[in-house]
Structure 1
Amino acid sequence: MTKTFRAALGIGLAALIPLPAAAIDYPTAPNNTPNRITISCFRGFLPDVIWDRPNSVFVDDLVKYGYDYPQAFAIAEAICRDEYGVNNQGYMTQRLQQLIRDTPPKG
């Protein structure tokens, strides 16, 4: 086999490897699972939470869940600005579940 063919084969096979972490930022499909909330945060290049903020898909999913926009943004920002959540998806999920239990949607 030629080097070009081997390189193309390697790239093709690498593309087939499932990457579940890459799916974190995909928005929830409409009318698919209405209670699914996508936790998605912008992380700056520093390990500190200086520029960290929620991505719009996170806030939009909280609004679809039943929160009004200011409350959804406040919850999402609390999750994304928590320093213990950096590179710790499990903690962010538990923290979100706790906030939803403590402050359920009004509607």
Structure 2
Amino acid sequence: MKTTLMVALLAGLAIPAGTAAFARGDTPSKPDSSPKGTINISCYRGIARTVAWDRPNAVFVEDLIKYGYGFKEAHIIGERVCRDEWGVGDHGHMKETLLRLLRESPPTGR
């Protein structure tokens, strides 16, 4: 009974958390929607302005892989950009963070 109640409570919390981002208009970019050679900075922010749930969307990681990074490197860079608390609501800061990371750790190929 206790487990069932806990699962029901978590399921009830998961539904609003998943839909809140789309209610704000924060839908992720479609794959292959950017011109060749560009990187979509696309992050899932969750329902809060804190970085508790933040992570890179698949299109962000895929664009970094196309740029020349391996999956692990691309995911680490995406996590770093998306989980930077100064980047919440500041797309310019996110872009500068990404450009700095690309300069500091250029892709080495696969």
Asked if structure 2 preserves the Cα contact closer than 8 Å seen for 1:34 and 1:64, the reply is no
CA spacing shift, 1:102–1:53, aligned 2, 3 Å: same
Q: What's the CA shift string for 1:18-74, capped at 9, x where partnerless?
A: xxx879723334xx7331000000011111100010000000000000000000000
**Count of aligned positions:** 85
Q: Which runs of 5+ in 1 are unaligned?
A: 1-20
Name the structure 2 match of 1:98. 100
Decide which of 32, 37, 40 is 1:38's aligned counterpart: 40
Name the structure 1 match of 2:86. 84
Q: Which runs of 5+ in 2 are unaligned?
A: 1-24
Provide the rounded CA distance (Å) in 2 between the counterparts of 1:97 and 1:26: 22
Provide the rounded CA distance (Å) in 2 between the counterparts of 1:97 and 1:24: 20
Shift of 1:81: 0.3
The TM-score, its normalising length taken from structure 1, stands at 0.72
Alignment identity in percent? 46
Name the structure 1 match of 2:74. 72
Provide the rounded CA distance (Å) in 2 between the counterparts of 1:89 and 1:105: 23
Provide the rounded CA distance (Å) in 1 between the counterparts of 2:53 and 2:65: 23
Decide which of 27, 31, 39 is 1:27's aligned counterpart: 31
- Structure with higher Rg: it is 1
Decide which of 57, 63, 67 is 2:65's aligned counterpart: 63
Asked if structure 2 preserves the Cα contact closer than 8 Å seen for 1:62 and 1:72, the reply is yes
Asked if structure 2 preserves the Cα contact closer than 8 Å seen for 1:42 and 1:52, the reply is yes
